[in-house]
Structure 1
């Protein structure tokens, strides 16, 4: 684990910035609670907030951040570009609009949300390249302190490498004991792309698994804490979502214990390839 930053340990990005390894995720399906965000910032020391245009809560986050009293420069704010805004000009405009809704002058991390572009008459690859050129410019101007992608697989990253200049700083992908894409993680590491995992609890499916329950008893922790700790120990930036104050507190209490190597191996061995979110495999 690298440096300790505000809000817990942080991992270094290729550009010299550090991203907190634990963040608070939000989502569009019952995934936002004003009280929970304020609590996470004020009481749990969370400094990393992950959102997206698609989730519809950027303006709500602006209110919660203001109410928390945490300074902008102490926060790591990530949002994402939805595919309806792909393309060179659209991307720049969408970034400005996200900043306006969030009430910020810059983003710490801006992600291309999904590899499928769905633009008539153009291949997804062409649109991704055009979109990424705009992302590179947003990065060069400092409006985005770092840029990355989400749900990109090795083939999508390889194409971007051929078509563009700046390597994504982060790739945010589904990551939990049932979905552990080790080959993709190794590829990202080899290119100095920080790997960030969402759905660390597999939308609750992992919490009922006998092996995880057994480990929770062994460490006197909750199943959620076992999953989050496992993800962080595997070097993955982890962004559990919750709208309940007590769950957020629980999800943050993962830095005062360590899973033994054998137990990490047990969890690593649970991969069965299932997705609880999107599966980007069919997208070329």
Structure 2
């Protein structure tokens, strides 16, 4: 690899080519239509969640405050990748500069971390509401809620900026074609002609810090929640208590489940084509299903929707 870089040192890569779905030339228009509809559904669905959690007085609680912020992060999360992909499908210009690629990667990683931390915060909120109901208004006051949201948004920024800097400090002197739909770490490391072992080590360290630990907190919260619910004397009380956290539990399952499929499955078990599908599935499944889950399974959200939207 060192010799390879020395041969091509004069041809330093200044931009990448995102191949995306270029191997399906006859389906470019169809794919553009499908992903445009998906993106619009994400914007409209999560936008409605944000609006109703802001304007409806019955939803001025910590749970819906976190939900509104989570929906906003979902919009930002998909807006980092889908508009560029739609543009590539529309005009067939698949080039992206190093700066644009680095910016996309940095925002993508930061927003993934924010989602993980917000899901953990939302699980803690449900734990306090069900396991410590008398202390809930005191513990989950507005000031703490704002601090938790801000902390979730900014905690990963320094480390993700450093991670992005490490990736783009690698020498890119071979092919500039990335067989992916957006700039992500593994595809970028594949086209590097340098040693990526250090980058992979820090990548897995970040996964443990910002993925595994929040998941453990969520798991601990729900163990406590389920234990408390099972101790309730009436079946009605158990059903009502569980209904307040079932929507969040489904979103957690979708987010971490799809993320595990995308990033943790053996790389030898599938092709580059299925890789793109799995990664894309991971970036759109939670944002598109989040509004549906909360709208269909939450009576308060349904009532607020009916007030906001015409019959």
Same fold (TM over 0.5): no
Which interval holds the TM-score relative to the shorter structure? Answer: under 0.3
TM-score normalised by length of structure 2: 0.23
Larger Rg: 2
TM-score normalised by length of structure 1: 0.25
Name the structure with the higher helix share: 2
Give the structure, 1 or 2, with the largest relative contact order (CA under 8 Å, sep 6 or more): 2
Name the structure with the higher strand share: 1
